[in-house]
Amino acid sequence: MAASSLPPQVSAAPDLFPPVKRRHPWVALARRHPSIVIGGGLLLVIVVMAVAAQWLGTVDPNAIAPAKRNRAPSAEFWFGTDALGRDLYSRVLYGAQVSLMVGVAVAVCATILGLATGLVAGAVRALDAPIMRIMDGLMSIPPILLAVALMALMRGSVLNVILAISIAEFPRMSRLVRGLVLSIREQPYVDGAIVAGTALPMVIWRHILPNTLGPVIVQSTYICSAAMITEAALSFIGAGTPPSVPSWGTVMSEGRALWQIKPHMIFFPAVFLSLTVLAVNILGDGLRDAFDPRAGKRG
């Protein structure tokens, strides 16, 4: 057969399904929920600084040096010194430990108390009214005033500050959980579980509690940031942690007498407090959008 009669070479068929480029999980998370990455990253930096405070060039935050008092920021004292000659850089970093511990502990305590009372109030009709009236009574008092009143009954300590702020904050969590339970309780799968003979505690554990965790986690972040602000306010007015425990509120309180001529005494702890609260709030907004995308679109 002649060479010209051979069939032409068939070209390869085009690729109709090109391979999909998979992004790294962190890249995908940053594209979908940048608030989580920004807030979580900033908060992580502050947490690392607080945990590693003793290895970041700090000294004893309570070490007094009268000859070096009221120094301006310099190469020797990065944030300056206070009226007793204590290193403000060290006091600010160690103060982060106190504020973060109070914020996280209050968020955990308020969440547990709020979940317990909210689940009972929403699932047991006979206990709904009594529990909610107690919550309404606590919520009628501003949290800072309630915390001040409770601290007036106790001596100043970190544990008592956590207890006082938790009592002031958990009623809002309780009311949120109760509203979620009332909504979830009307769903068909809950009715089906009850008709099938499932005990009420098991219905709460299997069907109601898991569906409340998303909003509860988001609310916990806001409670954490509110607790840090309340702790700083209590320490600022002398009703919070004792002076021997460095916290951002205590540092600002000690520098308020000289803030007009030595503004660095208040500036640095205030900046760290603001950044931490901002990071927690940004993280909370990102978690809200992740759990409920419609909320982000409405906002």
pLDDT digits (tens, 9 = 90+) for 142-154: 888 888 888 888 8
Domain boundaries, the chain: 34-53+77-298
Q: What is the pLDDT of residue 1?
A: 47
Full-model pTM? 0.83
Do residues 151 and 161 make contact, with C-beta atoms less than 8 angstroms apart?
Answer: yes
* Predicted confidence (pLDDT) at residue 103 exceeds the cutoff of 70: yes
Contact between 80 and 254 under an 8 Å Cβ cutoff? The reply is: no
pLDDT tens per residue across span 207-227: 888 888 888 988 999 999 999
**Residue 116, pLDDT above cutoff 80:** yes
Position 114 scores a pLDDT of: 93
Provide the percentage of residues in the chain whose pLDDT is more than 90.
Answer: 28
User: What is the chain written as a DSSP string?
Assistant: --GGGSPPPPPPPP-SSPPPPPPPHHHHHHHH-HHHHHHHHHHHHHHHHHHTGGGTT---TT---GGGTTPPS-SSSTT-B-TT--BHHHHHHHHHHHHHHHHHHHHHHHHHHHHHHHHHHHH-HHHHHHHHHHHHHHHTS-HHHHHHHHHHTS---HHHHHHHHHHHHHHHHHHHHHHHHHHHTTSHHHHHHHHTT--HHHHIIIIIGGGGHHHHHHHHHHHHHHHHHHHHHHHHTTSSS-TTS--HHHHHHHHGGGTTT-THHHHHHHHHHHHHHHHHHHHHHHHHHHH-HHHHHH-
User: How high is the pLDDT of residue 299?
Assistant: 47
Fold adopted by 34-53+77-298:
MetI-like fold (1.10.3720)
Mean pLDDT of 162-172: 92
Is the per-residue pLDDT at 48 higher than 90?
yes
Give 62's pLDDT tier (boundaries 50, 70, 90): confident
pLDDT value at residue 293:
55
Q: What is the pLDDT of residue 229?
A: 92
Q: Give 278's pLDDT tier (boundaries 50, 70, 90).
A: very high
What does the pLDDT average to over 25-54? Answer: 82
Give residue 277's pLDDT: 93
Please name the residues in contact with 31: beta carbons below 8 A apart, sequence gap of 6 or more.
Answer: 23
261-271 pLDDT tens trace: 888 888 999 99
pLDDT in tens, 283-296: 888 888 777 655 54
- Examine the pLDDT at 174 and tell me if it is beyond 70: yes
Mean pLDDT of 104-133: 91
